[in-house]
Structure 1
């Protein structure tokens, strides 16, 4: 008899963990197929360190074939799901179409950048969700400093040395921290810029940086950033973006050539096209992460509307912690659907968060114990090394080299012309 086929759409935190756990549970009794646009799992929490010149992108790119032996990888972007025919339709990397039939389906497509209808943002902002975007941003920052050094006009020089980040959540705070250290390091090698230091602005409409997190963590992060000269403007966002700068909602205009968009995420557009029941833009699931009225279909991660059983009436947040644990539970419950064990309900208490601020600074609350400075930094790096499925030695080596040396100051040739439009959709939509 043919082995049952389990198709997993997406290899982010939820999909990767589901595949890894299913391999252990099935022990070859089922065919596990992963549909993903890339051949690697991206460890997103360390992406700001790639943009900051601390880590090589290969250290946070976990190869699927090497770390998931026995999984069949299908390179492609899932575009449609037919639950009645139990079929996934996808588009390959060279535009070819394909189909996959399944016995069980795990929808773990994740999320994409959330773009607000603000004039000019789509044309002039830099996104931050992928390795290409992180490397492009790094090249862009270096180029602006080099062009500022060559500029004779003081106004142009100041604009090129001004960097604006929108969104003071986890990603925006870390991008600002790493970007500020990178630009300060590189600008110090340009004597002509001695009187024009890099200027960083971090904007958010919330009342604190790291909104939704512990206030002590937020205060600690704000204190570190302000100590480095970062201007934090709360209750403020962008009203319009132009090639020459940004108009803010407080009626100020900031001349700048750099706008980084980190306002959050929304479920992958595949969720809307799937035909599955939706709640708050995410696939509706029960406490076992199964999709009601669609036998054999499960969903987890950012695209799943998972009820938070410890906070009635709310959905679990779109975080890596939830995605990893939901991926593991889905693997268990898929096994239970084949008669291996009993299905379990999703329950999770957060274990705290870590926010890397670069240098020797971080803020963390492991097990809700507030930490800052070097102790938080040690906890943060220890957490990431433990969570990384591969390349731990390369990552630690990259940290060491940066600690005892300087950050690379050369471009990789990724910036050729004007700004690259902000990528907010799945690849097939962005090409329209």
Structure 2
């Protein structure tokens, strides 16, 4: 309950303090006296938007402060604010656009102020009663009167669940043929690639092997010449390096400055000896195998054909197989059983129907109570023949009925 209101430097008001008594308080005055300013001040305390044109022309800021009694302390406790059943709300705003608010001396955000204000003040404008002429507001008013917001939210949730179940069921029916066709194609593609026994990097390795097999004779000639140059009687480079190593070793004993040079020749001799050994081993293994060459050519042709078919590089075929396997697995996991979805749809429909029936019954009882109370109020106002009648019409039942037929 609002007990005290203080307004400073706002519109036509320099300073104003109002003490309000319990019950009905009436503020009267001629046009321009400031009645609407008081209403705007209350709106600011409820989180309304402040603007510079609300401030008096000779001031840089304005303030509004109000004392409320018999306030439920739950909101204060929830936000960690001090106070019991009394709440002092204060708001200050300036021409620069800055606005600050406090509740019982503690600063609060605009969101918190609006939340608190919604529970403290209800502002009804001059033509507020015209909202009663809008049918779209009638159900909200009845549910608020009867306290059915929670049950209505339950109904909305159940209805949304039914709609989702209906969409899933329809999608399963509509896409059954497409999904089946895609699944069959994936089964074939996965089987084809698995049958190829793909190995990562195989195409590159086979290309290198084919190049080697194509030039076996040339490799034998070049490597043979190199091996002969290293170890033949005429041009035995290894023996020559051995003699040089011995000579420089003896010279280094006389002049240590030659030690590093002798070491280099020794290393070269060791490397050339190792190279000659490796060449002999290579030549021993090097031979042309026509069967292996044909197998490599066939394998490369297969990999190239699969790469063209699946739109990727030949070395990427194993990755492509994994992609297709994942897609097939996902389709199999998400493949919906129409019968199971139909049962889910039936369960959600039954739940909607039960909740809707209970909500409708509660609304009809509340409507009778509301009509009785309004009639009593109207009679107290001297309108003995006036009455309120609540009429119910079904809405949305056609959609549910059509779905239930399936």
TM-score when normalising by structure 1: 0.16
> Which structure has the larger Rg?
2
TM-score when normalising by structure 2: 0.17
More helix by percentage: 2
More strand by percentage: 1
